[in-house]
Chains A and B, each alone.
Chain A
Amino acid sequence: MSQFLQSPLSSILGVVAFWLALGTIGVALGRDRDGVRFVYPATALGGALIAWLAGTALGADPVSLVLPLGLPDLPFHLRLDSLSAFFLFLLGLAVTGVSLSAAGYFRAGSSPSPGLTCLQYHVFIAAMVMVILADDAYAFLVAWESMALASYFLVTTDHRHEEIRAAGFLYLVVAHVGAIALLVCFGVLQGQAGSFTFDAMRGVTIAAPWAGVAFSLALVGFGAKAGFLPLHAWLPEAHPAAPSPVSALMSGVMLKTAIYGLLRVTFDLLHTQASAWGVVALVIGLVTALFGVMFAAVQTDMKRLLAYSSIENVGVVLGAIGLAIVFRAHGMASLAALSLVAALYHCLNHAVVKSLLFSATGAVLHATDQRSLGRLGGLIHRMPWVAWLALVGALSLAGLPPLNGFVSEWLLLQSFLFSPDIPDGYLRMLVPLATAALVLAAAFAAYVMVKFYGVVFLGQPREPSLETAHDAGPWERAGLVFLAVWCVLLGLFPALVIRRIDAVTVQLLGEGLGDAATRDWLFLTPMATERASYGPALFLAVIASAVLATFAYVRVRHHGRLRRAPAWDCGYPAQTARMQDTAEGFGQPVKQIFEPFFRIERVIPDPFDRAPRYWSKTEDRLWYWLYLPVARLVAAVSAQVARLQHGRIQWYLVYSFVTLLALLIFIRL
């Protein structure tokens, strides 16, 4: 056992191998659905083990390993340092919770070929681990694309539907474009360092123009995976298409691997140079965040809504990273550490929360077969477990204290507050705007979450079939509880977590938050107590005691009588579920306020219409500004090229002839 502990890296590889074995077992079990299901708890066990191993590796010395795989001159290099340990920890947590609920989710009928899904699922998580562990470009790209492929297959599990195939295609194409950008990025780094190993890249400081190129490519490459604007289009398509546990992992963990990559390249390999990079990241991040939340507010599909919310959160993380880069470039390492901690904490929170919420939607989907918000409602009565646990997630995602979502937001706002220390005037002017964007996004996140939770779980059921919805099974409950408990723990004891995370900032920036942040386990004081402090545990204690005191006061002083009656509703007699506010209703004011963001098509009936129809579609402008023009351009070029291939043999002979003559003349010149 002690030996096992001494080498967390090889133990983690052991878990990866174990997962791959589980996947193979899944295929072997094939169509025996219930048999396949019970593979997942074992997966969860592996996830927990990884989380624990990674937890111990945080702050420890980096461990390296070379596997005898890969290219002849470039075997797979692996490395476990604090940065990778942190992301592995995040992965472990999410995988544990999601796999537990996956054991409940993958019931009969959930997937046409459960064995295959099981294999893809395990390859997916194994590939994510390898992405995080990879320490050379080849291993990284292999793991990266394996991850993309496995998740693509998972997204298209239900590929009989045209739109799911379209979603999968879009996803894989964007992923591939990203991978190409990464390949070039590593190529640039390699050109300077002379080797594809990260160790070699780490060892050199790359000259300015090339470093900038590498950073931009990394931003594009990782942005395509993380969903930074304008490479986000795949995300709201692919997430809803996938089975819910997979959506959970994609949103919760896979997006974070992109963040991991960005951090790895920017801080570890490029040693963060120009403050301009940070500005770019900050702007893109916050625009992405705002964009994500605006679109989340107008969605009518619960998984799409969550997907857009993921875009928002990833944008926030990117904004935080951008700020960290700016601070770092101006030599303010401790402030950079603060922003970076905020970014990392947000990643961790989002991983747990999104896993929780997607798993909850999985349970809802299972119980009701409905994804559309217009056909849900009132599930808190039928599915109390899922509803109450989802409430934790929704509140956390809304960024409310004392849950975890608030902690990272708080840290980030703190770091924004210190940005006036930046010596650059223009930057200082930019920061208030950025702060405004951030708080706006955060406030709308609450709007979105109220919409999500209220429409799905509260109110009256909008469809009669919902009356028979069943609550989640024991496995799903276990997974949800696990994740919800982590939401609460991460919310209540941030100081303890940050004490650990600080190892990452020390690794990346050479300086962490230091003692100030970690002195007190109860209060979070990143700078100094008098400057800012936040004590969620005390916070909760006061609220809880106030609730109890009020309750006791009311009961003792007055009474606890309660009568049930029909809802009053200002006395309107006939109340149907259709009279409740809808998801579209929630979207309407946002559409109105932020109209330029959206591309809205409406059909509005005129007053004399015999069969009035109202119909409206809200779309992403970028789809029309970027994606379709590119597709059209390629199609146009193809059409031109295809004119050459017109079928007449004489012309083909002319091509050969002309080529020959041209070359002969060329060579005589």
Chain B
Amino acid sequence: MSLAGQIVNLIAALLLLVSFAMLSQRRVRDLVDLFMIQGALLAAATLVTAVATGQSHLYYSAALTVALKVIVLPLILRRVLRRLALETDVELLINIPTTMLVGIALVVVAFNMAVPISQLAGTITRGALGIALACVLLAFLMMITRRKALAQVVGFLSMENGLFFAATSVTYGMPMVVELGIALDVLVGTFVFGVFFFRIRETFDSLDTSHFEKLKDR
């Protein structure tokens, strides 16, 4: 495996670590920080791939990632946090050790799932697919276990990161037009989330999703 491949794999491992860190993190502010680190790692991985393969659009992709996920989104999230003066602790539905155990199981599943696919991929970074999938699943798990709306949003965005990483690792990124579209959606989505937080806060005085259990058929 090439050096670039090894570097990407290293970054991938770090991404997985960050994902686990997010899973175990109780504080929303730290979650946002971790999200930012994840974005930075993603950009780095993209950049390394771009350098190694000379795919020019990956440079744009890396730049886009930095702009969006390292700068803009954390900015928005922090602003929201500050404006809403959110309480810092995130309540969990399942305790952290259990979550971690489930997370490890998910990683096993994800790796297992990814092996046949990554063997078919022609990229230098293909080994990272398993990690990308694991990131997606871990983010999913995080959304499930968190009660605070903001934590769910961070989970959602982190899932998006995982997807981007998957795209970069197996196919050197999606076509530019698609990537731009996705970025736009993510950006608008975050804005909408922001609007939402204010509305929710206005209505419920908290961002706890336990208020959101009125619509049911039980």
Contact B113–A648 (Cβ < 8 Å): no
Given A645, A656, A660, A661, which contacts B217 in the complex, CB threshold below 8 Å?
Answer: A645
User: Which residues of chain A from 632 to 669 have a CB within 8 Å of any chain B CB?
Assistant: 642-643, 645-650, 653-654, 656-657, 660-661, 664-665, 668
Task: Enumerate chain B residues within 8 angstroms of A668, measured Cβ to Cβ.
Answer: 112-113
Contact B214–A647 (Cβ < 8 Å): yes
Which residues in B have some Cβ–Cβ distance to A below 8 Å? Answer: 93, 109, 112-113, 137, 140-141, 143-147, 152, 209-210, 212-218
B170 to A: closest C-beta gap in Å: 16
Contact B216–A647 (Cβ < 8 Å): yes
Query: 3 shortest A-B CB distances, which residue pairs?
Result: A647-B216, A647-B213, A645-B217
Rounded to whole angstroms, the CA-CA distance of A649 and B208 in the bound complex is 11
B16 to A: closest C-beta gap in Å: 18
Q: Mark A273-309, 1 if CB is under 8 A from B, else 0.
A: 0000000000000000000000000000000000000
Task: Enumerate chain A residues within 8 angstroms of B93, measured Cβ to Cβ.
Answer: 650
Given B109, B210, B213, which contacts A661 in the complex, CB threshold below 8 Å?
Answer: B109
Given A647, A648, A649, A657, which contacts B141 in the complex, CB threshold below 8 Å?
Answer: A657
Which residues in A have some Cβ–Cβ distance to B below 8 Å? Answer: 642-643, 645-650, 653-654, 656-657, 660-661, 664-665, 668
Rounded to whole angstroms, the CA-CA distance of A420 and B116 in the bound complex is 77
Given B137, B214, B218, which contacts A642 in the complex, CB threshold below 8 Å?
Answer: B218
Contact B144–A646 (Cβ < 8 Å): no
Given B140, B212, B213, B218, which contacts A657 in the complex, CB threshold below 8 Å?
Answer: B140
If A649-B209, A650-B209 touch, whether A642 touches B144 (CB-CB below 8 Å) is: no
Contact B217–A642 (Cβ < 8 Å): yes
Given B112, B144, B214, which contacts A650 in the complex, CB threshold below 8 Å?
Answer: B144
Rounded to whole angstroms, the CA-CA distance of A661 and B140 in the bound complex is 11
Contact A647–B140 (Cβ < 8 Å): no
Task: Enumerate chain A residues within 8 angstroms of B215, measured Cβ to Cβ.
Answer: 647
Instruction: Add 4 more A-B contacts to A643-B218, A648-B209 (CB < 8 A).
Output: A647-B214, A648-B210, A657-B144, A664-B109
A196 to B: closest C-beta gap in Å: 38
A381 to B: closest C-beta gap in Å: 60
If A647-B214, A647-B216, A647-B218 touch, whether A664 touches B141 (CB-CB below 8 Å) is: no
Contact A650–B217 (Cβ < 8 Å): no
**What are 10 of the A-B contact pairs (CB < 8 Å)?**
A642-B218, A643-B218, A647-B216, A650-B143, A650-B144, A650-B146, A650-B209, A656-B140, A660-B140, A668-B113
If A657-B140, A664-B113 touch, whether A650 touches B145 (CB-CB below 8 Å) is: yes
If A653-B143, A657-B140 touch, whether A648 touches B213 (CB-CB below 8 Å) is: yes
If A650-B147, A657-B144 touch, whether A645 touches B216 (CB-CB below 8 Å) is: yes
Rounded to whole angstroms, the CA-CA distance of A318 and B217 in the bound complex is 45
The closest CB in chain A to the CB of B136 belongs to A660
Task: Enumerate chain B residues within 8 angstroms of A650, measured Cβ to Cβ.
Answer: 93, 143-147, 209
B72 to A: closest C-beta gap in Å: 26
Task: Enumerate chain B residues within 8 angstroms of A645, measured Cβ to Cβ.
Answer: 216-218
Task: Enumerate chain A residues within 8 angstroms of B137, measured Cβ to Cβ.
Answer: 657
The closest CB in chain B to the CB of A651 belongs to B144
Contact A654–B144 (Cβ < 8 Å): yes
A636 to B: closest C-beta gap in Å: 14
B58 to A: closest C-beta gap in Å: 28
Rounded to whole angstroms, the CA-CA distance of A646 and B109 in the bound complex is 29
Contact A647–B113 (Cβ < 8 Å): no
A32 to B: closest C-beta gap in Å: 47
